[in-house]
Structure 1
């Protein structure tokens, strides 16, 4: 049972992660690999709406996907997209990335290798990692315009779809910590973080939602 205060704090982090971008036509879409096949579904929906001619799915495996996506996150995303009607020649697969920075760097290298001209990118992520992904992409590939996108779902609806509230809240806390710590390490651009968001993060961390925190950075951001 998740306490009422923890739900409220998680909702605040969820809301902060939303960038509020309106999807628009871009050169390509980059779908960030994860445990959530909804990223692939949303990328497919954007493709059907004519938002991009080329999709890159990027991601190896992680501790949360090793069993459910044994062929790698990007490959499972590709299979899902083809099942939903996307032609295979519209999809590029980047199978090595193990973190968001590698997702961006390796996707850029793949697109350059294939000669795909890129001026703008639809960056498709899990809903609770929009801001973290955007800040990373802006840092690592500042020459292009980034438009954030994710499955349009309410927090409670998303938790129900995943079926594991603690996992989702742990991920939210981990994403928030990285927004606070990574700019100082040169991994992403700085984001202005409201005080009530920082307070919500601190309460959740103190309450034990810590499984996705950086092992070497258990201090305040």
Structure 2
């Protein structure tokens, strides 16, 4: 592939350009500021826990929730559950145990938000502002979900500051990453119709890139119609 690193060889230049458009769209680019709490959204990506720990040490929030049970893509990597492994990792990075609340049941993003909200309420915490920490390509979907399910709080998003090339290297599977980019964009488009999220405008070039990657077969992470 001309002008590309080895990690990208299975993807054509055009497909990679499409992926970059979608990658950029998924990121909210919020200016970070202090929040009452943070919620680290469970996934296959331990970088979420690392980033949450770094932001805690930077003083952006006093308490955080790690949320997530297991899914087919995380059960082998995090056998005790996403939130449990995230917590263990954050402890090794210097986050004190009493700053971490655990939500070990969530199986989707809606659960992440609603169950974390309940865990906070059970602890007597009723935040006015929340920082959501997610995978880089999940910022927009997590934001749209929180705005729907928790509209009274000020929501901002953060993720590990990686470019797409570096993220692919960190995951080690370029097709899987592109499949996930496409899958998350499908959810951004479809979930508002189901009442799961607020609607987000999708620019024409991003939608065209999405359709191109669908046609090219990057479809393993799609939800059923």
TM-score, normalized by the shorter chain, greater than 0.5:
yes
What CA distance in whole angstroms lies between the structure 2 residues aligned with 1:3 and 1:66? 31
Deviation of 1:117 after TM superposition, in Å, equals 2.7
In the other structure, the counterpart of 2:152 is 143
Q: May I ask how many residue pairs the two structures share in their alignment?
A: 216
What CA distance in whole angstroms lies between the structure 2 residues aligned with 1:138 and 1:79? 29
What CA distance in whole angstroms lies between the structure 2 residues aligned with 1:178 and 1:212? 10
In the other structure, the counterpart of 1:155 is 164
After superposition, residues 59-70 of structure 1 pair within 5 angstroms as 59-70=68-79
In the other structure, the counterpart of 2:7 is none
What CA distance in whole angstroms lies between the structure 1 residues aligned with 2:132 and 2:64? 10
What CA distance in whole angstroms lies between the structure 2 residues aligned with 1:29 and 1:127? 16
What CA distance in whole angstroms lies between the structure 2 residues aligned with 1:159 and 1:91? 29
- The answer to whether 1:210 aligns with 2:190 is no
- The answer to whether 1:5 aligns with 2:19 is no
* Gap regions ≥5 residues in structure 1: none
In the other structure, the counterpart of 2:4 is none
3-state SS of paired residue (1:42):
helix
* Gap regions ≥5 residues in structure 2: 1-9
Deviation of 1:6 after TM superposition, in Å, equals 1.0
Q: 1:111 aligns with which of 99, 110, 120?
A: 120
In the other structure, the counterpart of 1:55 is 64
Q: 2:208 aligns with which of 199, 205, 221?
A: 199
3-state SS of paired residue (2:132):
strand
What CA distance in whole angstroms lies between the structure 2 residues aligned with 1:204 and 1:197? 11
TM-score, structure 2 length as denominator?
0.95
Q: 1:124 aligns with which of 133, 136, 141?
A: 133
Deviation of 1:146 after TM superposition, in Å, equals 0.3
3-state SS of paired residue (2:143):
helix
Q: Report the RMSD for the aligned CA atoms in angstroms.
A: 0.6
Task: Kindly provide the CA deviation profile for residues 22-75 of structure 1, in whole angstroms up to 9, marking residues without a partner as x.
Answer: 111000000000000000000001000100000100000111111010000000
In the other structure, the counterpart of 1:78 is 87
In the other structure, the counterpart of 2:187 is 178
Runs of 4+ in 1 over 4 A off after TM superposition: none
Deviation of 1:139 after TM superposition, in Å, equals 0.3
3-state SS of paired residue (1:199):
helix
3-state SS of paired residue (2:131):
strand
TM-score, structure 1 length as denominator?
0.97
In the other structure, the counterpart of 2:45 is 36
What CA distance in whole angstroms lies between the structure 1 residues aligned with 2:71 and 2:216? 25
What CA distance in whole angstroms lies between the structure 1 residues aligned with 2:71 and 2:173? 17
Deviation of 1:4 after TM superposition, in Å, equals 1.2
